Structure 1
Amino acid sequence: MTITAVWPISSEQDPNAGDSMTITDPGEIETLVSRLSESTAGAATVWHEGRELADTDTQMHDHDVMALVAEGYGYLSYIDADHDYAVLDGDPASPAWNGEDVDFPKGSGVSPETLAEALREFLDSGERPESVEWQPAEW
């Protein structure tokens, strides 16, 4: 199985800076989480290459997954045709994070290790991870 992650990089020199990673080996997930932990990394859009496209003409995916590491917490959101938009039910002490493409409410952050576990499961199954608890979220 394969997932691809693409994320913006905050840079004064290049307002369009970004990075990406394509992962086929579960051992590479720790590298992704580490790279998302960098202070200049933004929230990553993550898609599973093994899933059907929702629209082949536009290449639109049938799922929307965002991953982030900020202030020592990992954040993950998920939506597809079978699941309403949700974020992780995390540590109540985790702060909210507001970005351009996604907002994570207070209490939706988990340890980076838990985020890595969820992403490994997503890589393996292509489905919403069941190893973590989810809570409904607003767009």
Structure 2
Amino acid sequence: MTLNASIAIVDGGVPGGKSLPIASPEDITGLVDLLRGPGSFTATIEADNAVLDAHIEHGFGYLLYSGDEAFAYSQGDPDSPAVIESEVGFPQGAGVPLETFAAALAEFLADSDTPPPSVAWQDA
């Protein structure tokens, strides 16, 4: 399956955006690398029946799943700080290790009907 990730990017102070097709492990690696870079904000990955918002900040990955099964934030390290400067906003404790974050993206690509199982979830 190929999904589309839309990312807001500020390049040299100029706001813009980027749209990336996500269909392979290499695409997921590219998305994670892009989100780790300066000026990148939350990626919105859309499937037919759900949306996964993905954000990297403070060395953690943050997720928000919106679908028929749940509307929930990732539940991660209790010491991960809240993210307020993003399109979505994430509560304290929602940050997961980047390896887990990448695994969740791959799981969403394979099956978007339920929240990715590699991550614990908390109601939004």
TM above 0.5, yes or no, is yes
Deviation track 1:81-133 (CA, whole Å, cap 9, x = no partner) reads 221x2111100111100145311001100111111000000111123211210
- Map of 2:39 onto structure 1: 40
Whether contact under 8 Å (2:3, 2:46) holds in the other structure is yes
Report how many residues are paired: 123
CA contact (8 A) 1:2 1:123 kept: yes
Task: Find the aligned partners of 2:69 and 2:99 in 1 and give their Cα distance.
Answer: 26
Q: Which has the larger radius of gyration?
A: 1
1:54 matched residue in structure 2: none
Aligned-residue offset at 1:12: 4.7
State whether structure 2 residue 114 is matched by structure 1 residue 114. no
Q: Which residue of 2 aligns with 1:27?
A: 26
Shift of 1:70: 0.8
Q: Give the equivalent residue in structure 2 for 1:64.
A: 51
Aligned counterpart in structure 1 of residue 62 of structure 2, from 51, 66, 75: 75
**CA–CA distance in structure 1, aligned partners of residues 65 and 80 of structure 2:** 18
List 4+ stretches of structure 1 deviating above 6 A.
Answer: none
Percent of residue pairs identical: 39
1:8 aligns with 2:41: no
When residues 134 and 67 of structure 1 are mapped into structure 2, their CA distance, relative to the original with a 3 A threshold, is same
* Preserved contact between residue 6 and residue 19 of structure 2 (Cα < 8 Å): yes
Query: Does the Cα contact within 8 Å between 1:26 and 1:123 map onto a contact in 2?
Result: no
Structure 1 residue 64, shift from structure 2 partner: 2.7
- Distance in 2, Cα, partners of 1:13 & 1:68: 20
Q: CA RMSD in A?
A: 1.5
Gaps in structure 1 of 5+ consecutive residues: 52-61
Cα 1:93/1:13, change in 2 over 3 Å? closer
Question: Secondary structure at the residue paired with 1:42?
Answer: strand
| 1:26 alignment partner AA | P
Distance 2:85 2:51 in 1: 16
SS in 1 for 2:55: strand
Q: Is the 8 A contact 2:59 2:98 kept in 1?
A: yes
Q: For structure 2, which runs of at least 5 residues remain unmatched after alignment?
A: none
What's the CA shift for 1:26? 2.3
Q: 1:126 aligns with which of 103, 112, 116?
A: 112
